[in-house]
Every structure is written in structure tokens, then in C-alpha cells.
Amino acid sequence: MIKRPKISIVGAGNVGATAAHWAAAAELGDIVLVDIVEGVPQGKGLDLMEATPVVGKDSYVRGTNRYEETAGSDVVIVTAGLARKPGMSRTDLLVKNAEIVGQVAENVARFSPEAIVIVVSNPLDVMAYVAMKKTGFPRERIVGMAGILDTARYRAFIAMELNVSVEDISALVLGGHGDSMVPLPRYTSIGGIPLEQWLPQEKIDAIVQRTRDGGIEIVNYLKTGSAFYAPSAAAVQMAEAILKDKKRVLPCSVCLQGEYGLSDVFVGVPVVLGKGGVEKVLEIELTEAERDALRTSAAHVHESIAQLT
């Protein structure tokens, strides 16, 4: 069999299965879709495999209930966990999902001790912390998918407001993946032109708030589920940066070790993402107000972590 990178995706629900779809479409490698529910990963994996001749993509996809089949993975994307329902905050998911992610992390460490782990499960920043503690991996190899998704929503809302291409919008969202995230209009531009030259402050403030509410807006529409196209696309963008050693500068949730005056907490900050995982944490200049907002966001993550100890 041809030797390709190996990507394991834990959780065959909407996010996991869609991540497998994006990864196969991008020919990032061979894919193992894992879930505890018998038949679901096998069926979805086989369906995706049967799609590869149609779209002309060489990616071997299979589903399983056994972690043994994930052995030797280069990248593991963790989507397992309960989804939010209307009226449920991310924190409501905390204890149950920590148990689920902890079990996943132990299996990752056992079967793929050299893997880089991308955590998608919510509450995102806390689950990344759980994964790091349970695997024992260094911070470079545990990275949370949050900033890319939050920034994508922010960029999408700006594009919708201005009727311009999303490709020309450069933006950055820091902080925890939740209500206290920190969009940075000062670092936002369209075609190199600062956002403040395009929109009045009240419009910018409204877009910032919609970005913070981006996840629950979709939950409220769907009623029985949560977002999956954008989160899975964001996770696969991270996997691509790692597998192709692209050295992408992307906002990701990483365990800070003194950067921004914060330690032992996962929050979204810009990083360089390559074959070593998080190869560099970029510490950008922030105003005092922005720094305070980041500290507040990190404090919320700390509080959630404390609930698990």
C-alpha cells in the first residue's frame, strides 16, 4: 500500500465525518474515522471511500470502533463529545466531555505517541488542557481549534456587511472559544485597508458581538445540533498546515507559558503551525484594554479547569 500521512478523526458525528470529507477532498492522507457507536464510522468511512473515485482523490478512508487501527497516526483530530443544545452553555458540557476527551487522549498516547493532536471538542480550551494532561504530550503537540473558526466567522460577517471577497479580509480573534473571545478590529483590514475606514464603530461593534454569538446563533437555528461545516474545515486547515509543514500563521488555542503574562492555560493566540505542531507562539502588541480582555477570557478558562480538579 502507498505510504501516505495518517489522519485519525475521533468522533464520527457531523463534525468528525465532515472533517473526514474535507481531508479526503484535499488528499491530505489516509483517514481513520473512529467512534464508539458500532456501524456508524464503518458506514460513513465506506461511503467516503466510495466517493473518492468520483472526485478523483487518492485517500484511503475507513471507519472503526477500535483505537488499534489508529496506531501510528501523524495527526489526530478529536471531535468526540456531546454537542450543545439550545439553552446549554459550553460550560454545561464540561464534566461529561472532560471524561470523554480524557479517555480519547489516553488511547491517542497509547497508540500514536508521536502524533500531533487537534482538539475540537467543547468547551474547547478546557478540553485541550485535559488532552495535554492525559497524553503527557508537550504543548507543541496539543493544539485547539478555536481561533480559526472564530476568525472565519468574523471575516464572513464583515464580507456579508461590505459585499467584498472573504479572501481579501485579514483578521484576528484571540482568547477563549466562548462569550469572552477577543476579536481585534485594530488588526483587521480588507485589501490592506484598515476596517475603521470601511465601517463606523457601531457597525464594527455589532459584528464583534455577532462573532461572539456565532456558535449559539447556529444552535438556535438548528434546534437539535450545532455548527459542523466551519469547525471541521478549520480543523482540517490546521491538519494541512502540520502535514505539509506550511508554517501557517494562524490563531489557535495553545497552552501559554508566560506569553501575554499568562501561564498554564489554553487560549487562542497567533502561532506558527508546521510539522512540529505549534512551532512558535507569536506575542503581538495589545492595548491595555485588549490585554485586559484577554486576561478576562483566560480567567474564564481557568475557572472551568478548576471545576475539574
How far lies 163's CA from each of 169, 201, 204, in Å? 11, 18, 15
- Nearest Cα to Cα of residue 79 among 110, 28, 36: 36
Distance CA 48, CA 53 (A): 10
35-44 pLDDT per residue, tens: 999 999 999 9
pTM summary value: 0.95
Distance CA 79, CA 239 (A): 14
Q: Does residue 177 carry a catalytic annotation? A: yes
215-237 pLDDT per residue, tens: 999 999 998 888 999 999 999 99
In the chain, list all ranges with CATH 3.90.110.10: 147-307
Average of per-residue pLDDT across 133-153:
97
Inter-axis angle of helices 288-307 and 124-135, nearest 10: 60
148's grid cell:
480559526
Assign 85 a pLDDT band (cuts: 50, 70, 90).
low
Average of per-residue pLDDT across 97-115:
97
Distance CA 116, CA 8 (A): 11
In the chain, list all ranges with CATH 3.40.50.720: 6-144
Assign 1 a pLDDT band (cuts: 50, 70, 90).
low
Fold of 6-144: Rossmann fold (3.40.50)
Q: What is the pLDDT of residue 91?
A: 64
Of 21, 177, 300, 302, which one is the catalytic site residue? 177
What one-letter code names the amino acid at 237?
Q
Check: CATH 3.20.20.140 for 147-307? no
246-255 pLDDT per residue, tens: 999 999 999 9
> Mean pLDDT across the chain, nearest whole number?
95
Higher pLDDT, 210 or 3: 210
